[in-house]
Structure 1
Amino acid sequence: MVDFKALETLVWVASLKSFHRAAAKLNTTQPAVSQRIAQLEAEIGTRLLERERRAIAPTEVGRRVIDYAERLLKLRAEMLHSVADRSAIRGTLRLGVAETIVHTWLSRFVERMAKAYPALVLEIEVDISPNLFERLNAQEIDLAFVLGTLAGPLFTSRPLCTYTLGFFASDALGLPDDPVPLSVLAAHPILTFSRNTRPYQAVRELFSGPGLPPVRIHASASLATILRMAEDGLGIAAIPSAIVETEIHAGRLRPIASPAVLPQLNFVAAWRMTPDSATVEAVADLAVEVAGGAVAR
């Protein structure tokens, strides 16, 4: 009798093209993965995977079995998530998070997750969105809260929240309360996100207009570093307004008015569609609810 564990193992080995990565995904050992595949091949009576020069690809029969397996696993995941008690849903969900989310509503999301899925373990990795997209594509994480969209038939997403970039600085810089021209802002270092992010590119383009002096843009992947540098009067932070509420209330930073128009940052929950993605989709929906409540506050 063919069991679901063997079918699930076959699907992940074929998808990840690696026994080692499939073992990590399934939280087991590589020998256990090899044994499951061998038992499944013995049960069906033919080879399901070709293993040549470390390359793994399904045979013709293997592709047919995988097609059935994906449908069976998808139905099982949907059934369990529909009828099972949420507290019985176990496993590890690998979550990638952009740092803006860390500084806004991630803690409330983790709190809600602990109540909704007490047996589901979160592994949280914080990185810039381009890196998280790469990791999601490589199936190294299951779900990502990121800036932008991820195109392709294998992926889906939900809108989470939208934040507006703004300029913020310490009173030590002596900037006026009236709108400050870009030429005046450019006299100070601009502190913003890493080079390969959309906010950095938007700031770079903004200060590349004709007649503007050269600008120094200090890039950092750490929002905490950007905030501290701005508080110390080392430059003007170009960051989402949602993450500086505490600093503004404490008088350590203040918004700097400018005629320049900075872009809005649209964040999404993105994941790769897999046969067992029912729980991931439900977690994404929970994130949408939490994010919406955070923005409405």
Structure 2
Amino acid sequence: MANQQMSLAPQLPTKVKIVEVGPRDGLQNEALINGKAISAADKVALIELLSDAGVSYIESGSFVSPKWVPQMATSAEVFATIKRNSKVVYAALTPNMKGYEAAMAVNADEIAIFSAASESFSQKNINCSIEESIARFAPIIADAKKRNIKVRGYVSCVVGCPYEGDIAPEQVAMVAQKLHAMGCYEISLGDTIGIGTPASVTKMLQAVSARVPTAQLAVHFHDTYGQALTNIYAALQFGISVVDSAIAGLGGCPYAKGASGNVATEDVVYLLNGLGITTNIDFDKLLQAGWFISKKLGKPPTSKVSTAYLAQQ
């Protein structure tokens, strides 16, 4: 019976890479404090705390118009100030060539570009069609190749859209395949409004993995309906070994009404530790990083694990 149970156990990755998106995707969607964005110094302190905790990939800023995303206006200062750890990748989101050039000027290690699986979301988010958004990235990827800069691709709304409802898995697969064919070494599949369930996520992953190797896929879940961890577990069972998350569950989505923040890094690492999956992250130091930024924002962390640990102190 024991052997039978063992044979039924899912095959999970032995190691998972955490892509920490709190300093970018998290903070860019946090409300201003007394009309001001969190300071560059506090962002730098957060990034260095995460680095010290063993987080090996930190999305540290975004080079977008401060008119649209005021919280990211200090990204150049952040990149110029952080004490870099040679074992850490400090990445930047670049929506266009101007943003890419700004990221290169401050020596971002990697860049990320983004599209969507929903035409309506693409139009409302970046004011162009999916095809147009992908075409914009061609010169960026071409130049990045010359510089040996790796490019990561995001696909938003992979299971549902606030304007269109359910998104067909084949639509997600088509967009992911195009980004992969252009040269993105990894495609992060984002449930932007957090409506996915293990069933819908698995169907989506089946469609995408038919066109893009599973080893080059990552997942990015929001926790609006409390399904992020179960969706991550479903992705692990599917063979995904890269998970995006945000310290203290920072963020949300300004284009998706009611969408809560990214799944909390603390909760994800607690899950992975419990499954015996290696992350090389110091959990106590990770908690400290979450408490630091939550205090600066004047609000409690949304991480349930962090909240539980705080209650024990």
Of Structure 1 and Structure 2, which has the larger fraction of its residues in strand? Answer: 1
| TM-score in same-fold range (> 0.5) | no
TM-score by length of 2: 0.22
Structure number with greater Rg is 1
